[in-house]
Amino acid sequence: MLKRIGRSRRVQHAAGAAIAAYLSLVFRTSRFEVDPPDGYERVDAAWPPIIAIWHGQHFLLASIRRPHQEFRVLISRHRDGEINAVAAERLGVTAIRGSGDTRRRTNTKGGATGFRTLLKTLDQGIGVALTADVPKVSRKAGLGIVTLAQKSGRPIVPVAIATSRRKVLNTWDRTSLDRPFSRGIIAFGEHILVPADADDDALEAARLRVEESLNEATERAERSVGVRR
């Protein structure tokens, strides 16, 4: 019965709206700093970007968007993804529905459609954002995001978000439940370009760069707000 209730569209929309309201409260009552200070300007200069973030830090992703920046976020087609999609839409970010895959396949779980939509969105001059982890493997970047950069010619921009008042849940992705009245850091990593003619070795090297850059940005953000790992 509980599963049936959880699959109810009305319940999912209510949950998504509640999450959006809470995240908006967190962002409005918290003081966020940018590291480096010209991080947003660098992103604007490289527009449209591919924003990469670790799963578990993604809840505040929609809130960090500047008013003049338009980007869309990739969200799973799983029923939990419906709740996240509603929350993102409430926060002004359009959702692209699809899923990643550990082997860079794009023919499963809506992956092919999602990948084509991501490419089309970037071609229209609109940024995209997605979690870089492979499914159910925390802090390990997949090849999907570097393949997207290769096919689109757009830079990957690693981003990490950390707050001083938060609860890290015991989940596979170390989900961070951020709290109101926090001090926060939005840390940007160096932009990563993937050549159109990149072979398998070059793609693997780019994947490792994404992984290392996201870990470095996360450590920098957490250190700045006084979080001990």
Nearest Cα neighbor of 55 from 189, 191, 171, 149 is 171
pTM: 0.87
Instruction: Report yes or no: 122 and 130 within 8 Å, Cβ to Cβ.
Output: no
C-alpha span between 103 and 222 (Å, rounded)? 31
**What's the pLDDT at 58?**
81
User: What is the share, in percent, of the chain residues with pLDDT greater than 70?
Assistant: 89
Compare 88 and 157 and report the one with higher pLDDT: 157
Contacts of residue 165, Cβ cutoff 8 Å, sequence gap at least 6: 178, 179, 180, 181, 182, 183
Q: Which helix (H) or strand (E) holds 113?
A: helix 111-123
Let me know if 116 is exposed, middle or buried by CB neighbors in 10 A (0-12, 13-18, 19+): middle
pLDDT, tens only, 114-138: 899 999 999 999 999 999 988 777 7
The first and second tokens of residue 38, run together, are: 């010209």
Q: Which two tokens stand for residue 229?
A: 């790992």
pLDDT digits (tens, 9 = 90+) for 159-218: 999 999 988 888 877 888 899 999 999 999 999 999 999 999 999 999 999 999 999 999
**CA–CA separation, 71 vs 183, rounded Å?**
25
- Reported confidence tier of residue 100, pLDDT bands at 50, 70, 90: low
Q: pLDDT grade, residue 61 (50/70/90)?
A: confident
Confidence of residue 228 (pLDDT cuts 50, 70, 90): low
How open is the CA angle 168-171-175, to the nearest 5 degrees? 40
Cα distances (Å, whole numbers) of residue 23 to 9, 44, 136, 176, 182: 21, 24, 24, 12, 12
pLDDT band at 8 (very low <50, low <70, confident <90, very high): confident
Strands of 86-150, DSSP E:
95-97, 127-131, 133-134, 137-141
Rounded Cα gap, residues 113 and 108, in angstroms: 9
Per-residue pLDDT, 200: 96
| Helix (H/G/I), strand (E/B), else coil: 28 | helix
Report the pLDDT value the prediction gives residue 78, as an integer from 0 to 100: 67
Q: Over range 74-96, report the average pLDDT.
A: 83
DSSP conformation letters of 39-66 = HHHHHHHTPSPEEEE-TTSGGGGGGG--
Q: Which residue has the higher pLDDT, 6 or 209?
A: 209
